Structure 1
Amino acid sequence: MYCCCWGETDCADFGLTAKDQCFPLLYGKEIIYEISFQNGNLVIVLRNGKTILFEEQESLAQQRHKAKVVAVKGESIHTAVSGESHVLFLTRAGEVYELMCFAKKSETVCPRLIPNLQGIPIIQIACGRHHSLALSQDGKLFSWGLNTFGQLGITKKKVVLSSPRHLVNLEGVPLAQISAGGAHSIAVSLSGTVFTWGRNNAGQLGLGSTEDKYSPNIVRSLEQKKTIFVSCGEEHTAILTKDGMVFTFGAGGYGQLGHNSSRNELKPRLVAELLGVQVSQIACGWYHTLAYVCTTGKLYTFGCGLQGQLGNRKRCNQLVPLSAELPLTTKNGESLSDKIPNLIKRIHAGGNQSMIIYSEVENCSISEDQFANSMNKRIAILNDGTVQKWINNTDNKKRMKIKREIGIIFSSASCVNGSFLETSNDQHFKTSPVELGVDMSAVYLFFEKVKQRPYIFEEVKTSVKKMLASLTDSPICAEALRVYLIVPELIRLLDEEYDISLLTDLLSNAILNLKKDKRKMFASLLTAFPTSFFKMFVNLYQRVSKQCFQKTMEKYSEKNIKQLKMILHILQSFYQVNLDAGLKIQEQNFYVPEVTRAFKDLRDRCLQLRNWEEFKNPMLLLLSLKDFPCIFDMEGKLEMFELGNAIALQKMIPGMDNSLPVRRENILQDAFHFLRRRSPNNFQAPLQVYFSREQGVDQGGLSQEFFTLVTKELCTPEANIFKHYEDSRLIWFPEDGSRTGDEYHLAGEICGLALYNRCVADFHFPLALYKKLLNIRPTLEDMHELSPTEGRCLQGLLDEDYDDVIDRLMLDFTKLSTNDGSVAELIPDGEATPVTRHNRKQYVDAYVDYVFNTSVKKNFEDFAYGFKKGCSNVMWAMFVPVELMAIIHGNTVYDWEQLEKNAKYIGYDVSSEVIKNFWTVFHDLSEEMKKRFLAFLTGTDRIPVGGMEKFTFTICNQGFLYSDLFYPSANTCARILYLPCYSSIEALRIRLQHALQFFEEFGLA
């Protein structure tokens, strides 16, 4: 092995025989393994672990360096790096030693062992001028030294830390490499994310500014560039990608950035002169940069060359990368220039020096991946070889070693996050808030394999428990979140209920402890997850939720209740992710039917025993589950809603009256008059409707008829309350200021009362109304529903491919106001902002926001306030918008055959002649007459939630002697049709049609 060096200090100064600045990489008879050249001092690490330090002499008269042996008792040194006034030594056992001063008279120097790192296996070290970094095998990064500019990344204080501290901001990130500049620091993850912190006066952090950073920041412009290596100069930084591209940023005063200029670059910029040559190695000196291309054997240099460090036999600066002359020779002085591509192993850059390590043996060059691996040890991560070694082991003596390996990997979030990477097509380099970068199939196969080896599986479980308890609440990037999606694969394979419960609790607690923005990032990863794996996670939590619920029902303890709610909180968050993603999986995957069954059973027992106090605890538990509506199906939510009504009735003040007398001809005015003089407390009582000059007691049927009639009146164009959309036949609020009364507040009360009294009220509102009531913002999809014409136009604008077509539309950020024909600006200065291809999404969003939010803000707020007043049962918030809309509006999906199947009989049976005749006549009716019959029977032609399958009614024998003289009649409260015994089908048909016509004309059931 040989070294070619050039720059500030001639190699002969180190007492080594040299020719043309090349010297054998030998010291005595030992081959040199590692070398560090900085600030005029040379440190050589020999293959046998012995280390030699060449220091400048104190006397200026002495021109040669003094060689001193570095003595580290009982240790063999692997790596040495130097700063301005200190040198770090890393032993093969992973211990770190530090030497703080030079030029001692003794022939031997004894660096100190750094106590804080003792016992922590360190794999990488780096030195700045006055600070140090160390990366441990389990992925922890430590820093110490001077922190004037934040280069330690752990505090804003300008202090000196004499002992290493853990840099917690990068906890969980699987780091691949660390590097230190003059006063800045950089770390690169296994998936190419670059983190920078420290001094930034020249933009050397690549963040687009010159502000110093006291904690790690992601260099966003390097995301997904496949960064594999980084090198730091005094005030500049160079980045190497897997594709062989080089990016530089920071100080450029000497041309060290290679952009044919001397200006600074605040963001990473591709070195264009190196594009296409596929660089394999890079190295930065203080003010110069080296780039080596292994395929051609060319070394490109640029930057400061005043001390000859560029290798071009000149002493001048160089603004662009140019090939340097490499006078490589054998030990006999023979030239090796024609064999260079196969000889060079590694390049180095000191402060103002440059070096190349080469060999006489060909095929010694290495690829960029090998380069990254040879320069730095990797953190402990899983690979196929390691897993296979664990599984195939039959030697009990080796189990302790395997146990240690498992403990290192699975006790560290960084190591787990660095394992199982999706390497096909470099997919893991695309890791982002919407891309995990993990091969989940590999995760599944690993846990399946190790489960067959109980001692391995147990050790993995034990280590994972330890790791989950130590997770940070603020992981810096998506790479640090992988563990949250890997661990459920382990839990899924567990058999012991205790292990399942404990690991799920630890994982859930870690997820809930995440800060809001990090939880949002976690949700984004879930959204992008393959449907099959997402469903697996949901089913896992659903299963655990069932177990926790059953355990809690058996024993009502604070611990059990807390555990149950924590698990349900996670399940609910998964549910929200599912909604946001447009329902990746069906909602029944979230249901916990045991909760609904327990509620029904509890309610029935309460009714039988008439003792609610005895069941207070389980009832309070069930009520508290309203915060997790995802676990209830529609039936369960309705049960909870009814329970909420029952509780409201219990709290009702005795004697409270909610009687509503109305006249059919003035039903809307009477309703408004009634609502204006009612206090909110009155609404807790069931509504009792009385129609003027009509007999009848309201047992639900008259209320239903009232809501059918009042909503019809309220929503007519003649009422002039709501804005009507002809193409959808839906209504919406007019723009604020069009009316000054309390109509919207009163309309909201009517809508809320309908829900509270479980009556159908067809308001003709779009789904957007119920979204807004549940604090969900309407979207363009809602615009399509409310106004199909406007929706199509807006969608067409988004889909248009040609700029000139958009320009010809001559749109700006305004909308014509429907109040007075004025122009409403959608954004500030909207009239002067034309709509282009680049801002059309912003325009569409602003348009939709104006229609559904901005323009109707007050009118909707009045309606929402009235709605909550009319329905004091807060359980309505459990429903999703489409469910809430279905409960209030009902539906028009008719299945008349199902209606016949659901019919019950009193005084008749299904084989009775009159029943056969009735169904023959009914099925002969027109669709409109069948709907009229439904209204005649129930007070509305809408089908309540649940559809026809849930709809039942009873046909009862009227029992009159001359029954064929009477019309059919109905009890809308009990859904009973009283049917006389007609002598013929024709007589039945005539009587039924007359009854329906009479009902339509006079509104009498």
Structure 2
Amino acid sequence: MLCYWGAQVREGFGLVLAKVKHGDYGIRSVCPKSAVQDMSAGGSFVGFIQDGKVSVLRLRDGKRKQPKLKKDKIRLIVCGGAGTVLLAYGGRVLIMDQSNVCSPLRGLESSQVIQIACGDQHSMALTKDGQLFVWGDNTHGQLGLKIGQTGSLSVQHVKSLCGIPLAQISAGGDHSFVLSLSGVVFGWGKNSAGQLGLGDTTDRHVPTVVNSLNRKKTVSISCGGEHTATLSKGGTVFTFGSGGFGQLGHNSFTDEHHPRVVFELWGSKVSQVTCGRRHTLVSVESSNLIYSFGCGMQGQLGNGEMIKQSVPFPVDLSTVCDHAHMIKKLIAGENHSFALFLKKLGNESKPNPSRGILTVDDRMIDRWVSGRDLWKVIKMDINKVFSSAASLNGSFLKTSCDEHYQTSEEHCGLDFDLVKASFAKLSENERLISEVVKVVQQRLLPSLNSNPAGVEALRLYLLLPELIRGLQGQQRTELTKALASKILDLNPAASKVLEMYWSKLPDEWLKNVVYLFRKESAMLIGRIAVDKLDSDIATHLTKFVRILEMVYQVCRSAHRDITKSDFIIHEVNGLLDVLQTIIEDLNNMSFNLTGQIQELVAQQNYYNTILKNLISLPCIFNLEAKCSYMKNRVWQLQGCFPLTLRRTALLEDCFCQLMANQQHLRGLWLAVFYTEDMRKTDVNKRDFFLNVFKELCAPESQLLMDNDNKTLSWFPTKLRVEKEKYFLFGILCGLAFNNNSVVNLPFPLALFKKLLNVKPSLEDLREFSPVLGKSLRYILDYSDDVKEMDTYFTIEWDGTEVELDPAEPGKKVTNYNRTEFVDKYVDYILNKSVEEVFEEFKRGFFNACDRFLVEMFEPEELRGVLVGNEEYDWDILKKNTTYEGSFYAEHPTIISFWEVFDELTPNEKKGFLLFITGFEKVPILGMSAVKMRVRPLFNFTQDHLPEALTCHTLLDLPVYQNKETLRAKVIEAINHKRGFWEE
């Protein structure tokens, strides 16, 4: 049964064998013998489908047209402002021209269309694989292509929506909308009255998300002439746009630029909403009622009055309709309204699957696995689903409690258990998974959009690693390569959302992402170490590691339970060993072997390039590999920066020469000469660093301020020396780093964080000042319900009173602002109060060493590289010691030496470490990195002291007559002045 009301038209619309029943308020009904399956009303036409046959009535003269169709059976009809579009059951789109001839729409012959929509002068079509096509006028951007794109009679693909699983399309006068499966609303086109719901009146030429409708569980959308209505799953109606005729239902005649709830319908659980040119209809399935509001000047509201109505009122159908019928579809035209009824059969609420895009579900996979379908059919299904990003992104949604409607930048909406189970089923069948892989590799991945319009398009980047994880060999590698490239091609906004999704992934899934890219990286590194030079391998490796670095930073920021060790690729150490071998071969090779030298140099450059790219993404390097890389780099330094110094004027001389050569320091090997003997030895350099830092950090230098315990130093807030000295101080630290020298730099971890642009924390302040740190922690943890504390934002530091909040002097600390207080306190001491001095120090530091080398370390590691540690394991030193010449482990002198060593005091043992290595502390890799060699010293007297060559950790030990003499001489050597003269 069809009910209709509004402007006068041909009685019964010329429907065959239709008897018209007249009711109150101008409402009429007709029950044609052949039921109306679908209908549509446009500005000039009304179209009907009966038994797959189409008839179109021209409203102005009442003439009825019978389109000339061949064999197509029509399922849907849409009448726009200028014409009529038909959709056949096979998915073909037909255009009806003025001569009633229907011809296929060019450009969509090979596509299966499932939905069509028409505006005044433009049309839209949605295909089964989730692609949106448009054609017609584009004056206001209603085609959604881009600014400056003119209209087109041929179909155009809206590429920006690729990958978005669309549920519905709708076209208004000169604007367009689409709705995703998870309720995300996109609009574009004319926006003169705010009909796009974006809060302004600016036209949009590309699909734009209506953010205010996010998470509203939108299930339906309808566009009018210049207004729009949406329906949420719970039955709530939102309207926006032109309200001049009351068509928004807000009890006013004003425009709305944002979606606004129609409160008069609140609680009615609306089931359908449709917009006409200037009026709106809604239906409530539970009560079988229809409400209307807006322009009724032609009777289209069904209330018997020719008025504008700004609030919803029921349309009284009691005289033309009984309770045996239910509303199937509402249609609102320009000056007419229609309600298509069906007899109640008990299953009317079931959705029509033919109107939805193709997605993967359990039943489909079970059919494939069981082989109930022919292989040819299965291949077609796989090709359709796995070649479409939209189809996959619309699959595996978490439907329980409507969770997928919460899809946002923080919530992906996927059911991870369902994904895992589905892909596991596919992986069990080798034939199936091979076909899936082929389609994904050849069709899906090349089609991915690097600038997705919405976050739903990013679900694919969570799905594919789980699919790839079950693969082996070349299949796995090739898909990983393609996926890595696509992830890195994403625009910054999409990449940020993907990182957020990673941070929210279940632990198992996130670890699988890490495992996938780590394993493939390790495999490529293994190939690099044994294969010939291959730039493609190096390129793919860098991409894999970039993604690992992205995930690593996500894990750090989100405090995920995935450790740094999960990212480390130990195969890198092998690559460094290969490079070390090449360097040693070059150093030992005769220069007359030109061809071999050139080959080795090419290999060296190849490995250096790869490692330099990798070291900028340091999450895959363990500490040993980082130190090895630095060592290799130092071995390859070609230049030397000489310092000629007087022992009695160490700081004065080095500062003068550093200032004169500050532009020529980075990447050079330091050589130290003393004017007293002018010998070039590595001992000189180590002695220089040892003593120059003792002078710099001594209280007499006035460069630093000490903490209460005199154990750590920090920059002062009041300068007592020239600012340039901090620049030179930084240069010396940079030179120490560049020359692998451990120095006395008694700073808290905060310094090394700041050098790496990591924000210092309360714990860093607590390291420097335990008492102050403990007090601030007490303030944060204070649990009593006290509104104000006896503390102010006024503090005293380094003899200066400071207002932490200058805008509000004398501000008190309360329960509500205590976090702000502590943050400002820490920030002042570790950042603001020393900003000028630290920036000078930092400038000097990076003036003397490469930033990329520094940034490969974590703050704790950087401190260890420069300062060393105090984990003195003397048993390891003894175990790692080797013997040369006539010495061996059981030699009497060696036995005596270790007996003497074991009897030394802790400070004497530390003094011996300084004597043999030139460093006061243990290198960052621990005592195992100290490989002492001991050899007999010949041509000596019993008064001769043991000698040490620190650059080689070599001890020349005389063969003394007895243990007592050995003890005395070892202690004397430890306490001996290390080459520095006294005045």
- Give the equivalent residue in structure 2 for 1:384: 362
Q: Is the 8 A contact 2:795 2:801 kept in 1?
A: no
Letter in 1 for 2:865: I
Among candidates 635, 659, 667, match of residue 646 of structure 1: 635
Letter in 2 for 1:157: G
Map Cα deviations across residues 326-352 of structure 1 (whole Å, 9 max, x no partner). Answer: 42756xxxx42xx77xx3333333334
Q: Is the 8 A contact 1:181 1:235 kept in 2?
A: yes
Displacement of 1:147 in angstroms is 1.7
SS of aligned partner of 1:449: helix
CA, structure 1 residues 303+715, in 2 after alignment: closer, same or farther (shift >3 Å)?
farther
Displacement of 1:933 in angstroms is 4.4
Displacement of 1:75 in angstroms is 0.6
C-alpha distance in 2 between matches for 1:450 and 1:520: 31
Q: Is the 8 A contact 1:623 1:640 kept in 2?
A: no
Deviates more, 1:318-327 or 1:788-797: 788-797
**Would you say 1:410 and 2:394 are equivalent positions?**
no
Map Cα deviations across residues 446-499 of structure 1 (whole Å, 9 max, x no partner). Answer: 3332233344323212221212112222112221122223222333333342x3
Q: Is the 8 A contact 2:77 2:87 kept in 1?
A: yes
Letter in 2 for 1:353: H
Among candidates 631, 643, 655, match of residue 672 of structure 1: 655
Displacement of 1:202 in angstroms is 1.8
Q: Please list, as runs of the form range in 1=range in 2, the aligned pairs for 1:123-162 lying within 5 A after superposition.
A: 123-157=114-148, 159-162=150-153
Among candidates 930, 939, 945, match of residue 918 of structure 2: 939
CA, structure 1 residues 782+141, in 2 after alignment: closer, same or farther (shift >3 Å)?
farther
Gaps of 5+ in 1: 59-64
Displacement of 1:77 in angstroms is 0.9
Q: Is the 8 A contact 1:5 1:355 kept in 2?
A: yes
C-alpha distance in 2 between matches for 1:645 and 1:716: 30
**Would you say 1:212 and 2:203 are equivalent positions?**
yes
- Give the equivalent residue in structure 1 for 2:47: 43
Displacement of 1:785 in angstroms is 5.5
Letter in 2 for 1:661: L
SS of aligned partner of 2:355: coil
- Give the equivalent residue in structure 2 for 1:528: 504
- Give the equivalent residue in structure 1 for 2:281: 290
Among candidates 337, 342, 357, match of residue 359 of structure 1: 342
- Give the equivalent residue in structure 2 for 1:868: 846
- Give the equivalent residue in structure 2 for 1:163: 154
Q: Is the 8 A contact 2:760 2:830 kept in 1?
A: yes
Map Cα deviations across residues 561-611 of structure 1 (whole Å, 9 max, x no partner). Answer: 444444444444444444444465333443443343133134325524626
Letter in 2 for 1:56: L
Q: Please list, as runs of the form range in 1=range in 2, the aligned pairs for 1:51-66 lying within 5 A after superposition.
A: 51-58=54-61, 65-66=62-63
Map Cα deviations across residues 356-409 of structure 1 (whole Å, 9 max, x no partner). Answer: 33334353552xxx5xx44971111111111112222255xx322222221121
**Would you say 1:599 and 2:582 are equivalent positions?**
no
Map Cα deviations across residues 940-969 of structure 1 (whole Å, 9 max, x no partner). Answer: 332111123333334666789996x78776
Gaps of 5+ in 2: 590-595
SS of aligned partner of 1:206: coil
C-alpha distance in 2 between matches for 1:555 and 1:257: 71
SS of aligned partner of 1:751: helix
**Would you say 1:509 and 2:506 are equivalent positions?**
no
- Give the equivalent residue in structure 1 for 2:180: 189
Displacement of 1:782 in angstroms is 5.4
Among candidates 595, 605, 612, match of residue 620 of structure 1: 605
- After TM superposition, the score normalised by the length of structure 1 is 0.85
C-alpha distance in 1 between matches for 2:114 and 2:251: 37
**Would you say 1:33 and 2:37 are equivalent positions?**
yes
**Would you say 1:269 and 2:260 are equivalent positions?**
yes
Among candidates 450, 453, 459, match of residue 473 of structure 1: 450
SS of aligned partner of 2:637: helix
Q: Is the 8 A contact 1:411 1:464 kept in 2?
A: yes
SS of aligned partner of 1:278: coil
C-alpha distance in 1 between matches for 2:731 and 2:523: 41
Among candidates 495, 498, 520, match of residue 472 of structure 2: 495
C-alpha distance in 1 between matches for 2:383 and 2:77: 28
Deviates more, 1:242-251 or 1:906-915: 906-915
Identity %: 35
Deviates more, 1:122-131 or 1:986-995: 986-995
Q: Is the 8 A contact 1:345 1:364 kept in 2?
A: no
- Give the equivalent residue in structure 2 for 1:458: 434
C-alpha distance in 1 between matches for 2:219 and 2:565: 45
C-alpha distance in 2 between matches for 1:525 and 1:416: 17
C-alpha distance in 2 between matches for 1:922 and 1:896: 9
C-alpha distance in 2 between matches for 1:442 and 1:131: 40
- Give the equivalent residue in structure 2 for 1:173: 164
C-alpha distance in 1 between matches for 2:909 and 2:157: 76
**Would you say 1:886 and 2:864 are equivalent positions?**
yes
CA, structure 1 residues 888+391, in 2 after alignment: closer, same or farther (shift >3 Å)?
same
CA, structure 1 residues 939+559, in 2 after alignment: closer, same or farther (shift >3 Å)?
closer
Q: Is the 8 A contact 1:11 1:18 kept in 2?
A: no
C-alpha distance in 2 between matches for 1:12 and 1:727: 101
CA, structure 1 residues 437+938, in 2 after alignment: closer, same or farther (shift >3 Å)?
same
SS of aligned partner of 1:51: strand
Among candidates 645, 648, 664, match of residue 661 of structure 1: 645
Q: Tell me how large the CA RMSD over aligned residues is.
A: 4.1
Q: Is the 8 A contact 1:185 1:198 kept in 2?
A: yes
SS of aligned partner of 2:396: coil
SS of aligned partner of 1:266: strand
Among candidates 18, 23, 30, match of residue 21 of structure 2: 18
Displacement of 1:724 in angstroms is 4.8
Displacement of 1:420 in angstroms is 1.9
Map Cα deviations across residues 687-732 of structure 1 (whole Å, 9 max, x no partner). Answer: 3445687x89665444334323322332344423245555896544
- Give the equivalent residue in structure 2 for 1:88: 85
SS of aligned partner of 1:30: coil
- Give the equivalent residue in structure 2 for 1:122: 113
Q: Is the 8 A contact 2:39 2:46 kept in 1?
A: yes
C-alpha distance in 2 between matches for 1:403 and 1:95: 22
SS of aligned partner of 1:120: coil
- Give the equivalent residue in structure 1 for 2:592: none
Displacement of 1:76 in angstroms is 0.9
**Would you say 1:348 and 2:348 are equivalent positions?**
no
Displacement of 1:763 in angstroms is 2.0
- Give the equivalent residue in structure 2 for 1:61: none
Letter in 2 for 1:78: R
C-alpha distance in 2 between matches for 1:934 and 1:603: 27
SS of aligned partner of 2:75: strand
CA, structure 1 residues 646+994, in 2 after alignment: closer, same or farther (shift >3 Å)?
closer
Q: Is the 8 A contact 1:81 1:89 kept in 2?
A: yes
CA, structure 1 residues 914+551, in 2 after alignment: closer, same or farther (shift >3 Å)?
closer
SS of aligned partner of 1:35: strand
CA, structure 1 residues 705+426, in 2 after alignment: closer, same or farther (shift >3 Å)?
farther
- After TM superposition, the score normalised by the length of structure 2 is 0.87
Displacement of 1:531 in angstroms is 2.9
C-alpha distance in 2 between matches for 1:804 and 1:317: 59
CA, structure 1 residues 409+873, in 2 after alignment: closer, same or farther (shift >3 Å)?
closer
C-alpha distance in 1 between matches for 2:510 and 2:459: 14
Q: How many residues align?
A: 961
Among candidates 524, 527, 538, match of residue 548 of structure 1: 524
Q: Is the 8 A contact 2:293 2:310 kept in 1?
A: yes
Displacement of 1:125 in angstroms is 0.9
C-alpha distance in 1 between matches for 2:792 and 2:908: 51
